[in-house]
Each structure stands twice: as structure tokens, then as C-alpha cells.
Structure 1
Amino acid sequence: MKLLLRSLKAVALAPPLYVLLLGLGLMSLAWNLLAMLLHPVLPPRLGRRVGRAGIAHGYRLFWTVASACGMMRIDARCLAALRDERGLVIIANHPTMLDALLLVAHLPRSACIMKASLMRNVFLGAGARLARYIRNDSARTMVRLAVDDLRDGGQLVVFPEGTRTSGGRLNAFRPGVTLIARLAQSPIQTVFIDTDSPYLGKGWPIWRVPPLPIIFTLRLGERFAPMADSNALTARLEHYFQQHLAAGQDPGTPAAECKSPRAPTWS
């Protein structure tokens, strides 16, 4: 009986979820068509600012609607403390495909490192090019562009695992982010994304309805200074994430630092 009720609930909740995802797709398509027109006419610095603000506002609208209709519960108040910082590298664990949308929505200065193939995606490419997101087809070019962006006051959002976490186990960290931080002399701010939802994790198809609501809670962790030995810092960061994700511990950020009366709260 419980299995039957669960199945009926999933069927009933499927249409609103699909409508929400369809809305996200249409919004992304519309923005990318506009970005395609803006890219050749806006100066690079203005285009970057407009592009990143447009992406952030679009994704915030998605999260607001998802929360208002009860599909998701999101607490990302801690990111308000980072919003206006310049030259900051932000790293996080990567449980789902929604993580980048969640971080970028609250960090309008930020750029992401993207697969080069996504720069040709009709739903993402033009907007990413306007926002001057970093493509990863050449490691040397990727590092140079990321360093230049940080020195120019941008923020860089990176998932150092390089792919989504599989089976709840943290993947080995890739060393590029610590090299970028060293060359730009930028601090690395850790962020923990907590969720017990399997939706859009490794192997979860977009059409399959998960248990609802989907709950995301974000926590700020420690901030790490760049080090001359990039590999040593990579190992240190990986160990830090393993400790706090495995134990479910508070990474030690004071509560006042994670809350702001001006920050939006979705619950």
C-alpha cells in the first residue's frame, strides 16, 4: 500500500515539476537569444557585468518559483556575505546538476569554468559567452582567463571534484583551482552544499520525480589562503571536505557570518 501511495504521489507531482523545468528551459533559451544579440555590441567589461547579472537574476527567479510552489526548500543565506567580494575563488562539493545554478544565482560577480562543448549549447552558450565564463578546452588558456578575471574583481565558482559526487563519496580533487588561486593571489572560500535528495545526482534522469520537496542547505566553511605548493593545498582542501561532509559537522563558520537580515530566505 505504501508503495502504491508513493507511486500515485510521484505521478501527481510530475506535471508541476515538468512545468517548472520547462519554464527554466524557455527562460534560458530567451536569455541566450538576447545574449546573442548583445555580445557583439557591448564592450567586454559591460557585457560581462550584464551577462552575469542576467544569469543570476534568471536563476534566482527559478529558485523563487520552485520554493513558492513547494517543490524545493532552499537556505542559501550564507552566500549574501560573499556577494560583493572581489577576487574570490569559491569552491563547493557537487551533489547534483543544480549546484551551479544555486551558487551563481546568489553570486552575480561569479564566473564558472564550463566544458567547451556547452559553449555551443543553445540553452547556455550565448549567455555564457556574454558573461565571459571560462571554457576548459585548453588548460593554459583556462588558467590565464580565470586569473585575469579574478584580478579584474570577478569571482570564480569551481567544483574541484570535476564531476558530480557518486554514491555520496567525494571524488578526488583536481589541482587547477589552487594553481589559479596562487597565480591570482586570491583566497579560496569553501562552501558546503547539503542535500538528501537524489535528484539530478549521478545517474538520476531529469524526468524522474524525486521525493519532494527537494531541500538544499548551504554552509560557509573556512577560507584558505593561496599557497606556493598548489598540490599540498589541493590535498588539504580535499581532506577538509572529506572531514566535514562525512561527519556532517559544522565547518566552524560563526552563525552571524552565515546570516544577513537583507538576504532572501526560501523555506
Structure 2
Amino acid sequence: MDDKLTIKRLLIKINQFWRIIATAIGFSLFGLGGLFFLWLIWFNLLRIFVWNKTQRAIIAQYSISLSFKLFLWIVKLLGIISYQFNGLDKLKQDKHCLVVANHPSLLDFVLLASVMPRCDCMVKESLLKNFFIGGIIKTADYIPNTEASRMLPHCQQTLTTDGRILIFPEGTRSIPNEKIKLQRGAANIALRCQADIRIINIECWPPFLIKQQKWYDVPLKKPVFNITVGEKIPISNYLSENLALSARELTYDLTLKLSPK
């Protein structure tokens, strides 16, 4: 019995060591291959040959979605992670709405964008100055999280052209076993643009690529992501003359719906 237990522990350690190596391989391929090709070659060609900004952004978002899909196929093939989507048909039908999700892992955006070819995303304004990522963000016309006078017209234009905006209202990755705390940005955008909200719950166990965790800090067991496309919240239920109160109520309800069960 002791020998079997020792062998089992050894196999788990070997598998963990392999996943550390595979994670390095997967992320290197993604960084050097995907970002290099998209940023230096493909997106520059788009800027030269596609002059219509909206059309260029749609093509760029489709390209990002395909690259993420390929990346996830590689990391799944290498045994780094496993993932499963539930209720994906509901998400495919959504247009001119907000997609609001919790944020347990660094891979959340990659997972969701891989199944949403048309996906605008709210990003930190500071990322626009990033040498590698800034060009991709601008070409895809992602929405910087800046002052409302600049952000809201951008959101409204995106929603009017059948776009949908992905937002992680926590603002940063959540910490396991701690209550999530949402900012009111998502609620304010939904109310002011009068856009319905699609809820997505992301679970990952064991935790992987969480806040302040290094990429090589790989858990003993392979992480499994379970992504569930939930209900759609009609914004008409929250519209009132007091937008501040409505935003507070909506944020409270979103916190309940996005909290781990």
C-alpha cells in the first residue's frame, strides 16, 4: 500500500513538472508567435488596406478570437488546463449588450474572447501605452476605461453597431475564498446606454494564474475551467430618474450573481 501511494505521488509530481514545462512552451508560442504575427504583420496590413475603422476593428477582433482559440487548443493538448462551456448558444445570440463576468484567472479574457468573434472589451487606459499590446488594442478598437465623457460615446457606438462589450467589473482578478467586490462602472454603462446584461460565471479549480501568482506556480492537479453562460438581465428593470441609486442596486445584484456559489 505504501509503495502504491509513493508511486502515485511520484506520478503527480512528474505530471506537475511536465505542466510547468508545457506552460512555458504554450505561453512562449503565444507571445512570440501570436502577438508577433498579429502586431507586426497582420494588424499593420489591416491598417494599410482596410480604411474603415469599424470594419477594421471587426476583422481584428475576429483575428484575436481565432488566435485565442488556437492557443487554447494548444494548452489543452499539452495538458496544461481543461475547460468546458455551458449554455454557449445563449451567448452566440447576444448583440448590443454587456457581457459581465467574474475574474478568477488571467485566462478569463482569452477563454471568453475565443468564443466571441465580435467582442469589444473594456481595458485599462494605461495598456494603450504598452509597446506590444497598445497597437493591438487600438486596431481592435477596445474601449479604454477612462473618464465617462470619452468612454460612454465609445460604448454607445459599439452597442449601436450590434457589438457587445465584455467587462470584468471587479477591475482585477479576484482572490480565492474572499468576497468579490464590484466597481459600479458596468452598472453605469448599462444604465446610461440602456443595454441589457448577460451574466457569465467562471470557475477554476484548482486556482491557476490568480492574482499575484507566478506562471510557474502550477498546482498539483490540472486546473479545470467551467464557464457558464447565465441569465440576461433586462436593464429596463433598473431604469429610473435616480441613476446613482439604480447603479447601486444593479451593482448589488450583479455581485450576488457573480459571487461563487
Q: What TM bracket, shorter-length normalisation? A: 0.7 to 0.9
Q: Among 44, 47, 57, which residue is 2:66 paired with? A: 57
Q: Deviations over 1:223-254 (max 9, x none)?
A: 11112222211111112333xx2xx3xxxxxx
Q: Deviations over 1:34-60 (max 9, x none)?
A: 213423542111111111100000001
**In 1, Cα distance between equivalents of 2:121 and 2:179:** 20
Q: Among 227, 236, 241, which residue is 2:253 paired with? A: 236
SS of the residue corresponding to residue 205 of structure 2 reads coil
**In 2, Cα distance between equivalents of 1:230 and 1:61:** 38
* Greater helix proportion: 2
SS of the residue corresponding to residue 162 of structure 2 reads coil
**In 1, Cα distance between equivalents of 2:206 and 2:129:** 30
Residue type of the alignment partner of 1:88: C
Residue type of the alignment partner of 2:256: H
Q: Among 25, 28, 34, which residue is 1:22 paired with? A: 28
- Whether the 8 Å contact between 2:96 and 2:195 is mirrored in structure 1 is yes
Match of 1:99 in 2: 108
Shift of 1:25: 0.6
Shift of 1:73: 1.2
1:209 aligned onto 2:218 = yes
Match of 1:261 in 2: none
Aligned length: 244
Match of 1:13 in 2: 19
**In 2, Cα distance between equivalents of 1:12 and 1:232:** 47
Q: Give the TM-score normalised by structure 1.
A: 0.83
Shift of 1:3: 6.9
Look at both structures and tell me which one has the larger radius of gyration over its CA atoms.
2
**In 2, Cα distance between equivalents of 1:8 and 1:71:** 13
Gap change, CA 1:137 and 1:238, over 3 Å in 2: same
Match of 1:257 in 2: none
Residue type of the alignment partner of 1:29: F
Q: Deviations over 1:79-130 (max 9, x none)?
A: 3432242102111110011101111111111111111222233442222211
* 219-228 or 1-10, larger mean C-alpha shift: 1-10
Match of 1:253 in 2: none
* 129-138 or 6-15, larger mean C-alpha shift: 6-15
Residue type of the alignment partner of 1:164: R
What stretches of structure 2 of length at least 5 have no aligned partner? 1-5, 240-245
What stretches of structure 1 of length at least 5 have no aligned partner? 249-267
Residue type of the alignment partner of 1:31: L
Residue type of the alignment partner of 2:39: N
**In 2, Cα distance between equivalents of 1:92 and 1:191:** 5
Q: Deviations over 1:196-243 (max 9, x none)?
A: 13221011112322334221111122211112222211111112333x
- Whether the 8 Å contact between 1:86 and 1:153 is mirrored in structure 2 is yes
**In 1, Cα distance between equivalents of 2:21 and 2:66:** 25
**In 2, Cα distance between equivalents of 1:75 and 1:3:** 27
* 3-12 or 38-47, larger mean C-alpha shift: 3-12
